[in-house]
Amino acid sequence: AQSVSQHNHHVILSEAASLELGCNYSYGGTVNLFWYVQYPGQHLQLLLKYFSGDPLVKGIKGFEAEFIKSKFSFNLRKPSVQWSDTAEYFCAPLGATDKLIFGTGTRLQVFP
Amino acid sequence: NAGVMQNPRHLVRRRGQEARLRCSPMKGHSHVYWYRQLPEEGLKFMVYLQKENIIDESGMPKERFSAEFPKEGPSILRIQQVVRGDSAAYFCASSPKRNTEAFFGQGTRLTVV
């Protein structure tokens, strides 16, 4: 069965700090991978996606993620966070089931 | 191109009443997904529909919950005889085809009193 694990439930950073959020998935077949962001009180928005090709993908707002097939991981990174990055971040694999399976999410708080 | 539209944004129901949540997918999208988000939890998949067909309802509670996506009109998630535990945010997402990213609506926040 398809599943996903996000290790960091709550991350607190100061502005300009670097960010890395872990995501591991379990699925044996071909999988597409997504990171979504949910700002307070808002809906989910797509941050970035990986379908194939270069395993390092760049998304909006300076975020990037690296797909490491051997580790079943798709960690999200940003070199320097801003206060406006305060939000909840969800990793979601998409396999043959045709539905996004979401992790429990990571709540990021950035303090000025 | 309007995004995924959900209405109402907020819905208050008394225990035992029915809740009907509507979702209009993006133009050209024929795949609709419903998710439920409880406080402090992630999004839980409920049901996946294509026009007039339920593709996957493995996340739907066996009783009181139903969903449809008719040929014309929005997708409807219907909860009969609501209970306090149904209070949550319900998100709808749509996509133009299989196995691609989904676009989310603003959600309907259901409160059962």
Q: Report residue B66 as tokens.
A: 């139903």
Give the Å distances, CA to CA, from A8 to A103, A110, B37, B111: 11, 15, 19, 29
Amino acid identity at A102 = F
Interface test with A, best of B99, B106, B109 (most A CBs within 10 A): B99
Searching chain A, which residue's CA lies closest to the CA of residue B90? A43
Long-range contacts of B82-85 (CB under 8 A, 24+ apart): B82/B13, B82/B14, B82/B15, B82/B16, B82/B17, B82/B18, B82/B19, B82/B110, B82/B112, B83/B15, B83/B112, B84/B15, B84/B112, B85/B112
Model pLDDT for residues A54-103, shown as the tens digit of each residue = 999 999 999 999 999 999 999 999 999 999 999 999 999 988 778 888 88
Model pLDDT for residues B59-96, shown as the tens digit of each residue = 999 999 999 999 889 999 999 999 999 999 999 999 99
* Closest in B99, B104, B107 to A94, CB measured: B99
